[in-house]
Chain A
Amino acid sequence: MEELMDIESLKKLTPAQQEQVIAGVKQQAAIANAQNLITDLSEKCTQKCITSPGSSLSNSERQCLQRCMDRFMESWNLVSQTLQKRLQDEASAMPNFGQGGFS
């Protein structure tokens, strides 16, 4: 996104181009998120579920993977809610609360 940060270039965009930029940023974010999810899911769930690999994927392995993915997505949603609440609590406690960010 570095090339977008040049204010002079941004000023020259038409409203239609501005919309495209926003749409592009959103799409890139969506792709990055999907990739992160797939990477995490693969790592966590194959680690748990493929412990004695046979000559094909067994039913129990499939069930384990399914379960794992469902639980992981539920966890993801719970973490999202919890983080949101935490940020809201901090913002209302300190009106000048900055970006913070967790690394």
Chain B
Amino acid sequence: FKMEGDPQLARFLQALQTETQRQKFTEQVHTLTSRCWEVCIGDSRPPSKLDGKTSTCMQNCVNRMIDASNFMVEHLQKMEKGLGQ
């Protein structure tokens, strides 16, 4: 698959990839917002504004969810390695 002669095609493929990545990002935002809403606002009535405490909770939640996901992937990889031996 030769691209040298076709910068137009290269740009196009790059643009497609950018859109795909953008969509992946947006899907992550949906998932995280949904989960962190449950964690940080949970069962209480919706507040009249997003205060400092809730805001901090949201930010922490996003980062901890990512940490948790990374941790679990790492652990899974270790488990798979163990099984393979």
Which residues of chain A have a CB within 8 Å of any CB of chain B? 1, 4, 7, 10-11, 13, 15, 18, 21-22, 25-26, 29, 32-33, 36-37, 40, 44-45, 48-49, 64, 67-68, 70-72, 74-76, 78-80, 82-84, 86-87, 99-103
Contacts of A44 in B (CB 8 A): 34, 37
Bits for B48-75, please: 1 = Cβ < 8 Å to A, else 0: 1110000100110011011001100000
The total of chain B residues at the interface (CB under 8 A) is 44
Partner of B58, one of A36, A79, A87: A79
Partner of A64, one of B30, B32, B46: B46
A2 to chain B, nearest CB (A): 12
Bits for B3-36, please: 1 = Cβ < 8 Å to A, else 0: 0001011001101100111111111111111101
Contacts of A45 in B (CB 8 A): 46
